Amino acid sequence: MNDIIVPALKKALELIFSRDPEVYATVYRSLYVTGLATLLSCLWSIPIAAVLGLYSFRGKWVIKGIFSSLIGVPTVALGLLLYLLMSHMGEFGSLHLLYTLNGIAIGESILVTPLIVSFTSNALGAADIQLRDLSLTLGASRLRTNLAIMRETIWSMVLAVSAAFNRGFGELGVATIVGGNLAGLTRVLTTTIAFETNEGYFDEAMAYAIILMAILLSITLVINFVEWLMQTEMGWPIIFRIIRWNLQALVFAFGKPPVQNKS
């Protein structure tokens, strides 16, 4: 096992610091697809979660149960369904989304929707009832009361969005079936790992896996660090200063963004 892990760690460092355009392009495509998918999903997931978490109506628990059960939907099954819909014979074939990054992003946005809805609605439903009663007693409207509750549970919502990003970033089925794993076009980190493994290049596959895990771990640590900073008096100034330092470091280290290899 050490014969694979140690060389893979060295290979991962070589890939990171080699400034290979294809490596950076693969990372960029992964971040672009998952970031766009998460943003798209938030557009409809958070309003749905707000309705499920803050209001009572008939059939509410049935709907919540459906979303909870869909959290574990197989990505290959969803990818196959989207492939049929996006193919030239499908209902959305005229949009030409198949074998594109945007097509993968749409598929991943559907994939992570149940996760955001379930986590956010549960967080809103478990909010402090005294806060709701106090707001209504002080004469606040129902809308302002709900906004206050959402503000109090903001970090639970951030956790839901972060979990959705991690789910999309590490998925393989939709990216493979909808994207087609086209080199230089739709190949992302997960499909690259699968491709290198199938070709027998285990050190390359492990190196890309290490890069993927490092990105996910870094994002989680940054979110936790920002949450901790926000609880201090100097939260925002420190955050802005760190962002400026990191941007300056990125510009100094890498110069211009990597160019995607279209060949």
Q: How confident is the model over 41-60, as pLDDT tens digits?
A: 999 999 999 899 888 889 88
Residue 131 has pLDDT above 80, yes or no: no
Range 18-204 has CATH code 1.10.3720.10 = yes
Domain ranges across the chain: 18-204
Give the gyration radius of the chain's Cα atoms. 21
How many other C-beta atoms lie within 10 A of the C-beta of residue 237?
A: 10
Phi, psi (degrees; rounded to nearest 5) at 253: -80, -40
% the chain with pLDDT above 90: 44
Using CA atoms, how far apart are residues 222 and 51, in angstroms rounded to an integer? 30
Using CA atoms, how far apart are residues 116 and 159, in angstroms rounded to an integer? 9
Region 140-165: mean pLDDT is 80
Using CA atoms, how far apart are residues 173 and 179, in angstroms rounded to an integer? 9
Q: How confident is the model over 214-249, as pLDDT tens digits?
A: 889 888 888 877 777 666 655 556 656 666 665 555
Instruction: Give the CA angle between residues 236, 240, 244 to the nearest 5°.
Output: 170
| Greatest pairwise CA separation for the chain in angstroms | 68
Amino acid at 258: P
Say whether 234 sits in a helix, a strand or coil. coil
